[in-house]
Structure formats: C-alpha cells, structure tokens
Amino acid sequence: MLTTGPRGTKDILPDSSGHWQYVEKIIREVCNNFAYQEIRTPVFEHTELFLRGIGDTTDIVEKEMYTFTDRAKRSITLRPENTASAVRSYLENKLYSGPQPTKLFYIGPMFRYDRPQAGRYRQFHQFGIEAIGAQGPAIDAEVISLAVAFLNKLGLSDLKLLINSVGCPQCRPVYRAKLQEFFQDKRSHLCSDCQSRYDRNPMRILDCKNETCAEYSQGAPHMLDCLCEECDSHFAGLQELLTTAGISFVINPRLVRGLDYYTKTAFEIQYSPLGAQSAVCGGGRYDGLIAECGGQPTPGIGFAIGIERVLLALEKQALLPLINTAIDVFVAPLGTETRAVAFQLLTELRYAGIAADMDFMNRSLKAQMKYANKYPAKFVALIGENELAEQKVMLKNMETGSQELIARTALVPMILEEMEK
C-alpha cells in the first residue's frame, strides 16, 4: 500500500511533466488569443453544488463522486468537473458586474470514481472554458472554435466535431414523452440502468454503451425533430456560423451529454483511435444552471478537454515535443578541497540567471564529463587544484571542444555574453 498510489491515479514524472507544461503553454496562448481569463477554484465544494448543478440522475452524481463528511459534519465533494464551481464562483464573486460575457478558463484535477482504463482515471485533468452571459449562437461558435484552435495548434488531426441540440425546458418535455412512448414496450429489454432512466431521464438511454440498449434505441425519435422555434433557429444559427468560419462538423442527433445542465447546443470532439474513451472534448450550453445555483437567469456555455486524452492522442500521432533539460554550465570540482569554491561559483551563476548544476556525487573527471553531456551542458567549468590555487577555472565549450583558462571572476560575465549570442 505504501508504495502504490490509489487505483486510477497517476504520477506525472519528470520525463513527462515537460509534455504537460507544453500543453498548458498552448492552452494559455490560445485562451489569451480568445480573451479568456484564468480562474482557479478549490478542488472541493459543498456536495449540494454538484447535486443541484450536475443533476442527481446523472452517473456522476449517482455513482462517481468522492464525497465525505468533514470534521464539522459538512458534506464535501472533490470536484468531478469545474462548470458548477465556475458558476458558484461567478455568483459568489459577482463576476456579472464586470464586462460581459464573463469568459473564463481553467486547468486542474477533477475526481470521479469511475472504472479505470486507458484514458479514464479517477483523478484526471481538464482544461475547460466557460462563457457566461451571452445568449445568441455566436458565443457557441466561439467556444467551439476555441476548442478546435487549441487542438489544431497542437497539430492533432483525425478529430471529429459532433454537434446536437438537446432543446430547452419548453421543447424537451414533448420529446421526453415521445421517447417514453417509443421505449414503452421495449423497456423490459433494456439494462437495469436504462430501466430506471426510462422514468427519470429517458434521453440517457440513447447514449447507453450496452449493445442491447443500442439495438433497441434504433429508430428512436430525434430531439432535432422536436425543437421549439427558438432552439431550432439557435441551432441553425450555430451551423451557419461554423460553416462560414470553415469549421467542419457532423450533426449527431444521438449525442446526449452525461450532465443534466445542458440546454440547446451540445457538442463533443472525438478522436477514434482512443477507442472507448474517444471523447477528447465535451461541452454545451447550460442556460438554466446559473438560476439553478441561485442567480438571475443567465445563459452560459463551455467545454472541458481531458488533458490525459490529449496527451495520448499526441503520443499516437508522434507529436509530443522533446523535453529540454539543457543547462548552460556544469561546474566540475576535482578533489574535495575544490568543492566550496565550486559551490560558490554555482551559486553566482544561478543568481545571475544562468542554468547551472554541479557534481554532488564525487564523480571522477571522466564520469563528470559524461554526466554533463547528458543534460546536455553548453559549458563545463572545471576546478582542479591548480585552478583553485590560481583563482581560475578551466572553461570547456562542449559543442566545439575548445577550452580556455579564465579568471574565476570572469566566468559569469563570459557566460552571460555567450547567452546573448
């Protein structure tokens, strides 16, 4: 137990943390381009927020939340997603009184007690955005185009954007009734989850992964045929904007997202080589969520992208960048008496903003040179007994192989000059 982390968690080790930093850098660049600002909310919230926000008939709330009672007997939940928290923060901090829409992005860990497999973890990381306060389809198109811009900037290809409309509280009850009618005599053949979904949330039957349920839902009525006028024109407006902007999409009338807050636009971006966990991005509009959380009725839309899944896709397409561990100077002390001066030089170099390291393992000269090459280091500053006595260092350029004896005090200015070249 002590040497194994909890199931579904992963350490991000030094040999891959550079990949995470790379992805995070692209996230920040793209969000900056689209004028979205970062928000960081706590990793735990009052359980009530997710019960209300995500919906108590969803798999997340029913089966997947990490919920515990704290010492003051409050029910606390590790966030399974960040939309509800962003909305809570928007209301608590009155972000609605700033310029509208409020455009936020976030990067951070989420927690779901799901069955771990490739691309699915119990602690995973999302990059997400939320645009709160704008009504028309233009903001939907912007949100989708940000997701596409991000994935394009990483160089990923073979992605598929699926869109749908899940209607609103006006038109959805009509559709719900039609679905119930459709499934009425098929009900007993559905899986036990879907049998209970029949009463509570029949739309979720449509995206059940069970083969029998999928078979029985063939020919089910489509939400798109039941949209009210407003939802219909919103969806048409979105399609027009995406088409004009050259963003290709496929309409999938069976796309039902696993969270209850969605209204109108729902979308996913899939990368099929990831198999069962092919959804890289999921999002949609949530026009009722802000009021549900106690605010004035306010529209909102956003998405979240699974960073682990993006990294898996980058790996599959050989797009992961090489991790740079290069340093400018490796200080190589030879003999114990030279260590204090070596450390002093190392400190001077680092304080001057130069990337430097030294030998801490009492290696031989040969081993130190080999070690310096591994970073790789541009220069090695050797200090042997002679150099120590003369207050000098032997500076070796590892690229050209040339070396020169220089005054100790000249080392930092010389390296700074080299770095400017």
Spell out the residues 6+ positions from residue 368 whose beta carbon is closer than 8 angstroms to its own: 330, 332, 359, 380
- Is 281 a residue that touches ligand HAM (CB under 6 A)? yes
Tokens 């001066």 appear where? 341
Q: Tell me the window of 122-130, 159-167, 217-225, 328-336 that interacts with ligand HAM (CB under 6 A).
A: 122-130
Could you say which of 36, 90, 124, 183 contacts ligand HAM (CB under 6 A)?
A: 124
Could you say which of 126, 164, 265, 338 contacts ligand HAM (CB under 6 A)?
A: 126
- Helix, strand, or coil here: 191? coil
DSSP line for 195-227: HHHHHH-GGGGGG---HHHHHHTTTPPPGGGT-
Q: Residue with the closest Cβ to ligand HAM? A: 306
Angle between helices 14-33 and 137-153 (to 10 degrees): 140
- As given in the structure block, the two tokens for residue 127 are 């990059």
- Is 120 a residue that touches ligand HAM (CB under 6 A)? yes
The alpha-helical segments, DSSP class H, found in 288-394 are 289-292, 307-316, 339-351, 365-374, 385-390
**CB closer to ligand HAM out of 144 and 354:** 144
Amino acid letter, residue 39: I
Q: Residue 108's beta-bridge partner residues? A: 126
Helix (H) / strand (E) element for 195: namely: helix 192-200
Site for ligand HAM in 58-87 (CB under 6 A): 81, 83
CB-CB neighbours of 340 under 10 Å:
11
Nearest in space to 385 (alpha carbons), one of 341, 330, 329, 331: 341
Least distance to ligand HAM, CB of residue 303, Å: 5
- Is 121 a residue that touches ligand HAM (CB under 6 A)? yes
Could you say which of 271, 303, 330, 379 contacts ligand HAM (CB under 6 A)?
A: 303
406 phi and psi, to 5 degrees? -130, 160
Least distance to ligand HAM, CB of residue 101, Å: 13
Least distance to ligand HAM, CB of residue 308, Å: 5
Least distance to ligand HAM, CB of residue 99, Å: 20
- Is 216 a residue that touches ligand HAM (CB under 6 A)? no
Residue span 244-263 as binding mask against ligand HAM, x where in contact by CB under 6 A, dash where not = --------------xx----
CB-CB neighbours of 318 under 10 Å:
7
- Is 302 a residue that touches ligand HAM (CB under 6 A)? yes
- Is 142 a residue that touches ligand HAM (CB under 6 A)? no
Binding-site ranges for ligand HAM (CB under 6 A): 81, 83, 112, 114, 120-121, 124, 126, 128, 130, 258-259, 279-284, 286, 302-306, 308-309
